Chains A and B, each alone.
Chain A
Amino acid sequence: MTYSNPYQQQWPNQPAPAAPVVAGWDDPNRGGWDTPTAAWSTPPSRARVNQPRSGEHLLDVRDLRVEFGTRDGVAHVVNGVSFHVDPGETLAILGESGSGKSVTAQAVMGILDTPPAVVRSGQVLFGGEDLLTVSADRRRQVRGQEIAMVFQDALSALNPVFPVGWQISEALRSRRGINKADARRRAIELMDMVQIPAAAERVDDYPHQFSGGMRQRVMIAMALAMRPKVLIADEPTTALDVTVQAQIMDLLATLRAELEMALILITHDLGVVADVADRITVMYAGRVVEHADVHTLYAQPAHPYTRGLLASVPRLDHRGHGLHSISGTPPNPAAIPDGCAFHPRCPWAQQVCRMTAPTLVRIGRLDRASACHFPPEALDARLA
């Protein structure tokens, strides 16, 4: 399947203002690892994450903060999230329900309902252009055409009263002005590309006539219609059974490679991302708590939360043992605990964790960072 893209990649050359890539790095109110109350007298050595030059990454989200005005006060749902992706790369954003990953994705897309949501600060740099400051029209242009999104529940995310082919090609007809016959042909091509059998016969069927896996393929075909450079998949396999999950993940990986897209995979399922993701960003209570390439993250998690998540994955070689779970529940975004948001659930929490929030700092030489005063990796070394 080949595409002729009439929209050549053109990145505006405007310089973006320098911003800290790490959450809260420049905030003088935040304590560091060396607060005097620290129980450990000799904290592990740290290095700053290098700030990438502007425009270096295809999509570069910096210090994004999103709040929701609710009746019970302001809910801080996204609190300084930074990540980036490059063409042909898969970034997984991992976190429990309510960790702010979907809101982050919707803020990047610019489809948050405002109000109640407010993007407080941060930058969403697409090819160096800050999407949070451009005009609404330019924002809409980017949406779907440069950055597209696949949603979780394809049944409710597809309009029940229009045929799938019509929905797949809708953006092409309405935004590129191609005629009906061409649109239909393109819809069939796209359905072929996402491996929907008998696409030509099924192009006029309605969403409810498809199985869950096929519906998700329709969603993917729809997102790819404008040939986006970044595809955000928000829990694309959550509503599907396990065998279909694997097929959809394979499909996404294949398409990402073929179309040289950047893929952002939002999920709470560690098992799902292991084979597909290049890098993983772990979110907790609206913050990035760990960021690493997939092998390092699985082998040596550098945050107690990640370690808890990994321990929670059922394993065949540990049969007969009880399942591990992280005790407690994620915090209410309207009342995030002081200090490290994870400290009430953290088995290694110390006094410093209750007082000051750890910043995301680099560990080792790799593109790897953790927001923990006492990364388990360092802890292991100390205990060894």
Chain B
Amino acid sequence: MARYIIRRLLQMVVTFIGATFVVYALMFANQNDPIQALAGDRPVSDNVRQVLTEQYHLNDPFVVQYGYYMRGLLTGDFGKTLTGRPIGDVMSDAWPNTIKLALLALFFATLFGIGAGLVAGLRRGSAFDNTTLALTLVVVGLPIIVLAPIAQLVFGVKLGWFPTTAGARPSLYGLILPALVLGAASTATMLRLTRASVAENVRADYVRTARAKGLSARRVVAVHVLRNSMIPVITLIGVDLGTLMAGAIITEGVFNIPGVGSKLLLGIQTEDGPLVVGFVSVLVVVFLVTNLLVDLLYAVLDPRIRYE
């Protein structure tokens, strides 16, 4: 087990370097003149240009520049945005909002996905099963760019149940509607997976054994069926957590939530290289860590899985 974790951590280092390198290359290789971009429309004198070129190592080869960046990253220095704000500050503002949003979305997705999936799996072919099937197809088919404004219009503007935008300091209540929108696709896939898994396990021999023991129907489902059905679903939850944090760009944009997604969007629009690379680097780490945790959790859930 310890050997496995060490191997996975080493793989994570390689993946991290590879991923940041690609993003770094894409952001910086494409820049025409970063000093002019920094200055905006104003002219830049030769003296200033020379100082800045040395300060930012712009004459060094690309790989050396990447090396400087990585050194800063590893010592906790994300650098500054083009507007001069420390990226570390931007992150400490943005991350809590995104984490709240993602966890809330995951909570709703898990609650509705597993709950409805369980009922649909136990009552295959029922009206409930068919309705959820149709609904999940609609939700999966609608891109979030369509779903988010519709939800905002219907529940925020017309019905007035939720605030239309979250604002600079979003309250938990203000995040509910964005979280539902963000988690809609996850809810649908989780529902389908839970349904399929439950439908298969409910016919398993060990469920028949559990019934033969004279256990209550509730216990048979809650302990024997659900426990085994959760193994693939947990994997999905882990993968989704990363996607929810990274994929909040549109949702955060529509509901005006100052989180990672909106900062990332801003960074791309203003060609703010350090900002984009900094956020993406952290996202890569989030992905890698959640995936490792899911794989380890997998072994806890299914004792047949052993990591050597």
A sample of 11 more A-B contacts (CB under 8 A), given A151-B209, A160-B206, is A109-B212, A111-B208, A140-B214, A143-B214, A145-B214, A156-B206, A157-B205, A157-B208, A160-B303, A161-B301, A162-B227
A174 touches B219 (CB 8 A): yes
Q: Which of B208-243 contact A (CB under 8 A)?
A: 208-216, 219, 224, 227-228, 231
Among A14-41, those with CB < 8 Å from B are none
Q: Is B172 an interface residue (CB 8 A)?
A: no
Knowing A151-B209, A206-B303, say if A161 contacts B214 (CB, 8 Å): no
A171 to B215 Cα, complex, angstroms: 7
B282 at the interface (CB under 8 A from A): no
CA distance A285 to B213 in the complex (A): 29
- Contact residues, B176-213 vs A (CB, 8 A): 203-206, 208-213
CB contact list, A111-143 vs B, under 8 A? 111, 113, 140-143
Q: Evaluate contact between B214 and A158: CB separation under 8 angstroms.
A: no
B210 contacts A149, C-beta separation under 8 Å: no
Residues of A within 8 A of B304 (CB): 160, 206, 208
In contact, A171 and B206 (Cβ under 8 angstroms): no
A-B pairs with the 5 shortest C-beta distances? A144-B214, A143-B214, A156-B205, A159-B206, A144-B213
B228 touches A222 (CB 8 A): no
Residues in A139-197 with C-beta less than 8 Å from chain B: 140-145, 148-149, 151, 153, 156-162, 170-171, 174-175
Interface string of A53-67 (1 = CB under 8 A from B): 000000000000000
Q: Is A361 an interface residue (CB 8 A)?
A: no
Chain A: how many interface residues by the 8 Å CB criterion?
Answer: 31
In Å, the complex CA distance between A285 and B136 comes to 45
B210: chain A residues at CB < 8 Å are 159, 170
A265 located at the interface, meaning its Cβ lies under 8 Å from any Cβ of chain B in the complex? no
Q: State whether A143 touches B212 (Cβ < 8 A).
A: yes
Instruction: Please measure, in the bound complex, the distance between the C-alpha atom of A321 and the C-alpha atom of B206, giving whole angstroms.
Output: 43
* Cβ contact of A161, chosen from B209, B213, B216, B228, cutoff 8 A: B228
Task: Give B213 Cβ to nearest chain A Cβ, in Å.
Answer: 4
A220 contacts the other chain (CB 8 A):
no
Could you list which residues of chain B lie within 8 angstroms of chain A, going by C-beta atoms? 203-206, 208-216, 219, 224, 227-228, 231, 301-304
- Most A CB atoms within 10 A — which of B205, B208, B214, B215? B214
Is the beta-carbon distance between B209 and A175 smaller than 8 angstroms? Answer: no
A149 touching B214 by the CB < 8 A rule? no
The smallest C-beta distance from B19 to any residue of chain A, in angstroms, reads 34
- Identity of the chain A residue whose Cβ is nearest the Cβ of B203 in the assembled complex: A113
Output the least CB separation between A136 and chain B (Å). 9
12 contacts between A and B (CB under 8 A): A111-B212, A148-B212, A151-B209, A157-B205, A159-B210, A160-B302, A161-B302, A170-B213, A170-B215, A174-B216, A206-B304, A222-B213
Which residue of the partner chain, among A157, A175, A219, contacts B214 with CB atoms under 8 Å? A175
A143 CA / B215 CA spacing, docked (Å): 9
Contact of A226 with B by CB under 8 A: yes
Of B209, B211, B213, B227, most A-chain CB atoms within 10 Å: B213
B204 and A156 contacting across the interface, CB-CB below 8 Å: yes
**Interface on A for B, CB 8 Å cutoff?**
109, 111, 113, 140-145, 148-149, 151, 153, 156-162, 170-171, 174-175, 206, 208, 219, 222-223, 225-226
- The closest CB in chain B to the CB of A158 belongs to B206
Given contacts A111-B208, A151-B205, A151-B208, contact A159 B224 (CB under 8 A): yes
Q: How far is the CA of A223 from the CA of B228 in the complex (A)?
A: 22
Give the dominant DSSP class at A's interface: helix
Nearest-Cβ distance from residue B300 to partner chain A, whole angstroms: 10
Which A residues lie within 8 Å of B203 (CB)?
A: 113
From A111, A141, A225, B211 is in contact (CB under 8 Å) with A111
**Cα distance A206–B228 when bound, in Å?**
14
Closest to A172 in B: B213
CB-defined contacts of A162 to chain B, threshold 8 Å: 227
Q: Please measure, in the bound complex, the distance between the C-alpha atom of A157 and the C-alpha atom of B211, giving whole angstroms.
A: 11
- Distance between A332 CB and nearest chain B CB, rounded to angstroms: 22
- Considering residues B209, B211, B216, which has the most beta carbons from chain A within 10 angstroms of its beta carbon? B209
Cβ distance A139 to chain B, nearest Cβ, rounded Å = 9
CB distance from B201 to the nearest CB of A (A): 10
Q: A157-B206, A159-B206 are in contact. Are A140 and B228 (CB under 8 A)?
A: no
A140–B216 touching, CB < 8 Å: yes
Distance in angstroms from A41 CB to nearest chain B CB is 51
Residues of B within 8 A of A144 (CB): 212-215
Most A CB atoms within 10 A — which of B228, B301, B303?
B303
Shortest beta-carbon distance from A74 to chain B in Å: 19
**Chain A residues whose C-beta falls within 8 Å of the C-beta of B215 in the assembled complex:** 144, 170-171, 174-175
**What B residues does A156 contact at CB under 8 A?**
204-206
Give the docked Cα–Cα distance between A242 and B156 (Å). 71
Give the chain A neighbours of B302 by CB distance below 8 A: 160-161
Q: Which residue of B lies closest to A159 (CB)?
A: B206
In the bound complex, CA of A156 to CA of B200 (Å): 13
B228 touches A143 (CB 8 A): no
Q: Is the CB of A159 within 8 A of B228?
A: yes
Is B214 touching A171 in the complex (CB atoms < 8 A)?
A: yes
A142, B205: Cβ atoms under 8 Å?
no
| Docked complex Cα distance between A148 and B304 (Å) | 28
Q: In the bound complex, what is the Cα–Cα distance between A144 and B215 (angstroms)? A: 9
CB B281 to nearest CB in A, in angstroms, measures 37
Roughly how many angstroms separate A174 CA and B216 CA in the complex, as a whole number?
9
Q: Which residue of A lies closest to B210 (CB)?
A: A159
Name the B residues within 8 Å of A159 (CB-CB).
Answer: 206, 209-210, 224, 227-228
CB contacts (< 8 Å) of A161 on chain B: these are 227-228, 231, 301-303
Nearest chain B CB to A155's CB is how many angstroms away? 9
Minimum CB–CB distance for B221 against chain A, Å: 13
